[in-house]
Amino acid sequence: MPPKKAPAPSKKADQKKKEKVIEDKTFGIKNKKGAKQQKFIQQVEKQVKSGGVNPRKLEDPNVKKLEKEKKLKEQKELALIFKPVQTQKIDKGTDPKSVVCAFFKQGQCTKGDKCKFSHDLSIERKAEKRSLYCDMRDDDKEEDTMDKWDEDKLKEVVEKKHGGGNRPTTDIICKHFLEAVEKAKYGWFWECPSGQKCIYRHALPPGFVLKKDKKKEDKKNEISLEDLIEKERANLGPNQTKITLETFLAWKKRKLKEKEEQAIKDEEKKRNDYKAGRQIGISGREMFYFNPDLATGDGIDEGDEAISSYVREDDDSEDVQYRELDMERLAFEASEIDSNGITVATVDRLKVNNVTDNNKDITVTLEEGAAAVAINENLFIEEDLEGLEEELGDLDLEE
């Protein structure tokens, strides 16, 4: 029979032995708080618990490999995030605001609103827009070189270059182009009504502001009346006088006094201006008020009209009595009047006057009629009778 193996020591006994070894080696320094002592104590504990074997050898060899792989992965991710962004290049004639900024995508754009590219990520799903600040015909001229021409194209160029009907060009913006931009009709398929022969520019100069953009800016700057009132009230501050009946009456009285004083100052100023010969801004009424002699006048020339002025005297008689009209009272007073000696006209007096008696003949001779009418000789003055005979001689009297 093989010999029996020695019984293995129990774990508890082995643990107590290790603790005793640690206690012996750290005797006298266990309670010290220095960093070196604490570090030494930890090293002793590790050595004793590992049974004198180096703890690095006990570690899993794959741990370091995993850590290296993890670090490499992090570095690759950082390189993807912070890799240098290449400068964007766009085709000539393309609106930069229709292209998303590459730096903004990486979170590295520091230009903000001043960046010529767009910071709207949703634009990537849209098509590129035609630039308003570039005339596409300029690109056609640059790309259209002689090595690409045929015989017909060469004849056309020679005729344009040396022909008598060559039209001059200008920097003025085409009105059709401006209208299309203002009405948002400009795009890749837009063509000028004047055709390719249009001599005006189909591009906006730098810094040009459209009318529709001006209206938007004006609307942004507008402020409602309620907001303006609240803003002005906030600027006044809290230390203000509250409006009550007493404060309002005092303010009104002060304003009326100020208005009266201002009116006196204005009148005095106008009076001094009138005396100095400056009559601009002075009414005719004020002129007569400042100089009453103008009403009388120095003299009347031939053809002038005279104006007489008078002052109406106020009737301040104290004997006048006023009373309210009452129809019943007036009727009662009229009934009490004595009618003796008062003639009353009949109701049918008009009919009586219109009736003529045809049976009664009334004849009056010329002498009787002349005698019946008394002539007042004073009515005819000698001056009125002058020239009367000549006027009578000129008349043709028929029998």
Query: Domain of 107?
Result: 88-124
pLDDT confidence bin for 177, thresholds 50/70/90: confident
Q: Of 262, 264, 266, 263, which is closest to residue 282 (Cα–Cα)? A: 266
Same domain, yes or no, for 159 and 198?
yes
Same domain, yes or no, for 72 and 92?
no
Please report whether residue 324 resides in a domain: no
pLDDT confidence bin for 59, thresholds 50/70/90: low
Q: What is the pLDDT of residue 264?
A: 92
Asked whether the beta carbons of 129 and 95 are under 8 A apart, the reply is: yes
What separation in angstroms does the CA of 37 have from each of 31, 34, 52?
A: 9, 5, 20
Taking the C-alpha atoms of 261, 265, 270 and 275 in order, what is their torsion angle to the nearest 10 degrees? 130
Q: What is the pLDDT of residue 38?
A: 80
Three-state SS at 94:
strand
Q: What is the pLDDT of residue 257?
A: 94
Taking the C-alpha atoms of 27, 28, 29 and 32 in order, what is their torsion angle to the nearest 10 degrees? 140
Please report whether residue 363 resides in a domain: no
Q: CA quadruple 158, 159, 165, 166: dihedral positive or negative?
A: negative
Please report whether residue 258 resides in a domain: yes
Same domain, yes or no, for 62 and 95?
no
Considering the chain, what is the average pLDDT of its residues? 71
- pLDDT for residue 130 is more than 90: no
Provide DSSP, 4-22. Answer: PPPPPPPHHHHHHHHHHHH
Same domain, yes or no, for 149 and 105?
no
Same domain, yes or no, for 100 and 49?
no
pTM: 0.24
Pairwise pLDDT comparison (204 vs 33), residue with the higher score? 204
Which among 293, 326, 359 is the end of a domain? 293
The total number of structural domains that make up the chain: 4
Percent of residues, the chain, with pLDDT higher than 90: 4
Please report whether residue 230 resides in a domain: no
Same domain, yes or no, for 149 and 194?
yes
Please report whether residue 354 resides in a domain: no
Please report whether residue 41 resides in a domain: yes
Angle at 366 between CA 364 and CA 367, to 5 degrees: 100
Q: CA quadruple 248, 254, 257, 262: dihedral positive or negative?
A: negative
Q: What is the pLDDT of residue 366?
A: 46
Highest mean pLDDT among 119-128, 138-147, 349-358: 119-128
* Cα 11 from Cα 19, distance rounded (Å): 12
pLDDT confidence bin for 120, thresholds 50/70/90: confident
Q: What is the pLDDT of residue 323?
A: 67
Please report whether residue 360 resides in a domain: no
For the segment 371-389, the average pLDDT, to the nearest whole number, is 55
Asked whether the beta carbons of 284 and 270 are under 8 A apart, the reply is: no
Same domain, yes or no, for 147 and 198?
yes
Three-state SS at 326:
coil
Highest mean pLDDT among 59-73, 255-269, 381-395: 255-269
Please report whether residue 237 resides in a domain: no
pLDDT one-digit tens code per residue, 223-237: 788 888 888 888 887
